[in-house]
Amino acid sequence: MELGKYSFGIGDRFGCQGKAQLEAIRKAGKRGIEITPVWNKSFREHSLVHTIPADTRNEADKAVKDLNWTQPYFVDADHINLSNVSDFIESSDFFTLDVADYIGKKAEIEKIEAFIDLNRKYLGELRVPGIESSFIVKPEELEKISGKFLFAIQEAKKIYDYIIEKKGEGNFIPEISMDEVDLPQTPVELFFILSAISMFGIPAQTIAPKFTGRFNKGVDYAGNIDQFAKEFEEDLLVIDYAIKEFGLPANLKLSVHSGSDKFSIYPVMGKLIKKHDKGIHVKTAGTTWLEELIGLALAGGEALGLVKSIYSKGLERFEELSAPYSTVIDIDRSKLPDPSEVNQWSGEKFVNSLRHIPNHPEYNPNIRQLLHLSYKIAAEYGDIYLDMLEKYSEIISEEVRENIYGRHIRRLF
């Protein structure tokens, strides 16, 4: 299996928007932008909303059938590890091997020595074609990189081997993910991470590093855009060089996790992938769930009341909901209005606060991030929430389509 040059990970917490998501991808195709859809959902998300991986497969297959989609599509076992990968084997054909928890743990000394021997030729001046300045790699830096990342890639290999045993070689797309950590990986570190991926024989087709700046869930990028542009371009060129040096898959590309709504860097990424003729994988993650809330708020009445209730409960349970996402949120609690105030809001006011239009005077990124985390509460409403999605599906679908096509795809391409 081979992933297309451009691909979008279209997360869907409740599995009800597959058709609307695919309609946005299809609309892009009609305008000459071919994007491979990848429905992604993690073990954590399945656990919180009480679904199983087969539900994601059913959602994708149904959307494809309903729209007569004839191009490739995939279902991603998102952020999995050895403890939960077995649940995804049957239904998934894309596996995001998350090794963030293993970064910093040391591999066996013989593995480290073998890795250093393999890469000794890169000590001194390392020149990557296309990057103006060379990198100076000292022996102690190579040793430090091996101590920091080698064990993590070794763990990825264990997950990969398990999947191979169950599904067979060439029957799925492997991605390596190390984005949910505190510190970004430098281009030099990425180069040697790719060397380790090759050393362990993982034919990764995408890699998700941690970039400089904040990639908070559901809101815009926070950081120095010029620094990001430099780093992103160097990463593109490092991957290109590593493919040739280490014999990695020719279609290996960058994956941008927490990529939802990073509007200020979309033009940067779009310009650079066009400049270097490279692909990209962007995960739109939980913004579909936020579009459901926007649609319900626009519907007014009982639907708006439900959305306000979810906000109120989310604020009440802030610590519980935010704990799993501590590295990818930045919420100023003092700017979260009291539920008594929110209960007086019209649907329009609520939507203006939630919808991601950064220059709108009523937009509140703190509300948006809190609600991004609050899908667990919607899940606790069970059929009440799902029935609302069905009842107001037309208005919600329009919001989902416009979000993916109008705010994401158009900005990037």
* 3-state class (DSSP) for residue 358: coil
The encoded tokens of residue 143 equal 């040793």
- Are 263 and 335 contained in the same domain? no
Q: Is residue 102 part of a domain?
A: yes
Relative orientation angle of helices 301-316 and 365-373, to the nearest 10 degrees: 90
Q: Quote the pTM value.
A: 0.95
pLDDT tens for the chain, residues 1 to 413:
999 999 999 989 999 999 999 999 999 999 999 999 999 999 999 999 999 999 999 999 999 999 999 999 999 999 899 999 999 999 999 999 999 889 999 999 999 999 999 999 999 999 999 999 999 999 999 999 999 999 999 999 999 999 999 999 999 999 999 887 778 899 999 999 999 999 999 999 999 999 999 989 899 999 999 999 999 999 999 999 999 999 999 999 999 987 688 999 999 999 999 999 999 999 986 789 999 999 999 999 999 999 999 999 999 999 999 998 888 899 999 999 999 999 999 999 999 999 999 999 999 999 999 999 999 999 999 999 999 999 999 999 999 999 999 999 999 99
Q: What is the pLDDT of residue 285?
A: 67
Cα–Cα distance measured from residue 220 to residue 284, given in angstroms and rounded to the nearest whole number: 12
Does 11 share its domain with 154?
yes
Q: What is the reported pLDDT for 391?
A: 98
| Angle at which helices 383-391 and 301-316 cross, to 10° | 140
- Single-letter amino acid code for the residue at 199: M
Quickly count: other Cβ atoms within 10 Å of residue 182's Cβ. 8
**What's the length of the chain?**
413
- Are 296 and 277 contained in the same domain? no
**Three-state DSSP class for residue 13:** coil
Residue 1 within a domain: no
Between CA 307 and CA 280 the distance in angstroms is 34
Q: What is the DSSP string of 34-95?
A: --EEEEEEEHHHHHHHT--HHHHHHHHHHHHHHTT--S--EEEEEEE-TTTGGGGTTT-SEE
- DSSP H helical ranges for 200-322: 225-246, 266-275, 287-299, 301-316, 318-322
Are 369 and 279 part of one and the same domain? Answer: no
Q: Angle at which helices 393-401 and 287-299 pack, to 10 degrees? A: 140
For residue 337, give both structure tokens.
């209005």
Is 44 part of any domain? yes
Last residue of a domain, one of 256, 271, 286: 286
* Residue 180 shares a structural domain with residue 236: yes
Give domain status of residue 403, yes or no. no
What does the alpha-carbon distance between residue 227 and residue 218 come to, in Å, rounded to a whole number? 21
Q: Are residues 32 and 176 in the same domain?
A: yes
Q: Range of 93's domain? A: 6-286
Same domain for 15 and 158, yes or no, is yes
Residue ending a domain, among 286, 321, 337, is 286
Based on the fold, state whether residues 250 and 116 are members of the same structural domain. Answer: yes
Domain count, the chain: 2
Q: 31 and 107 in one domain? A: yes
Decide: helix, strand or coil at residue 11: coil
132: Cα separation from own chain's centroid? 30
Residues 199 and 68 in one domain: yes
CATH of the domain at 261: 3.20.20.70
Terminal-to-terminal C-alpha distance of the chain: 25
330 in the same domain as 306: yes
Asked if residue 98 is part of any domain, the answer here is: yes
Q: Is residue 401 part of a domain?
A: no
> Based on the domain organization, do 237 and 299 belong to the same domain?
no
Residues with Cβ within 8 Å of 214's Cβ and at least 6 positions away in sequence, in order, are 221, 222, 223, 330
The answer for residues whose C-beta is within 8 angstroms of residue 86's C-beta and 6 or more apart is 162, 166
CB of 193 closer than 8 Å to CB of 185:
yes
Residue 402 lies in a domain: no
In a domain, 162, yes or no: yes
Cβ–Cβ under 8 Å, residues 211 and 232: yes
